[in-house]
Amino acid sequence: MDLHLTNKVFIVTGGSKGIGAAISRTIASEGGTVMVVGRNKNDNHQIVDEIVKQHGKAASHTVELADPAASKEVIDFTIEKYGRIDGLVNNAGINDGVSLASGSPEKFMQSLQKNLSHYFNLAHYALPHLKNTKGSIVNIGSKVSVTGQGNTSGYAASKGAINALTREWAVELLPFSIRVNTVLPAEVWTPAYENWIRTFPDADAKLKSITSKVPLEKRFTTSEEIADTVVFLLSNRSGHTTGEILFVDGGYTHLDRSLT
């Protein structure tokens, strides 16, 4: 299926590793141009080099998105380089473990800054350009926003707010034909997840205990499966889909617990 992404420009935050890298690769494979945004210059350059070697189109910009001024910088840089923005993927964030008991008001606010504020900031500064292209926004959320997890109040609050903003923005942007959707992963196999698994004394047993709870095929979701859904939502092939919160999780969040 041609997703009609040729000559279109998409910003992907956290676009050099894990789910973000898969999204960057998939956009490029469909003919789109990717602006990879992240805090690590080497990681950014690596994914851009990879995409270009595969005859794709990509560039990167290295910033710390917790800094509010960085979001405007990203948008200005993208417009200066490419002259347009057709889509924004808000993906950057970290499950930083700021809990109710062991956290603090200061750490909670810092968590919101790392996981939520830049979603708003980037969308705000990108909005005039998205109006010009009738572009789209896809937010990456988390099943934690609807299930809870324990000991991660800042991250959970951020992801819950992202669900609400998705619906709010979808309504506000209807007059401009800008679509806004969110994709919620659950258990996705990424380098960061693999590193976490390896912290357990019996990593294989821990891995098996998690995959046994995923109803569909008893396996992790792949980053590429998340990316395929995200890029479809960016494209005009999903032209009448907005305000949706899509779970790409093998049934992990909603199917009957008796299955697992």
The reply to whether 155 belongs to the active site is yes
**DSSP state string for 201-238:** TTHHHHHHHHHTT-TTTTSPEEHHHHHHHHHHHHSGGG
Helices and strands (H and E) in the chain: how many: 10, 9
Instruction: Tell me if 12 sits within 8 A of 36, measured CB to CB.
Output: yes
Instruction: Tell me if 37 sits within 8 A of 15, measured CB to CB.
Output: yes
Report the C-alpha gap between 66 and 89 in whole angstroms.
16
Catalytic residue (one of 82, 125, 155, 252): 155
Report the C-alpha gap between 184 and 159 in whole angstroms.
9
CA angle 120–121–123, rounded 5-degree value:
65
Residues labelled catalytic:
155
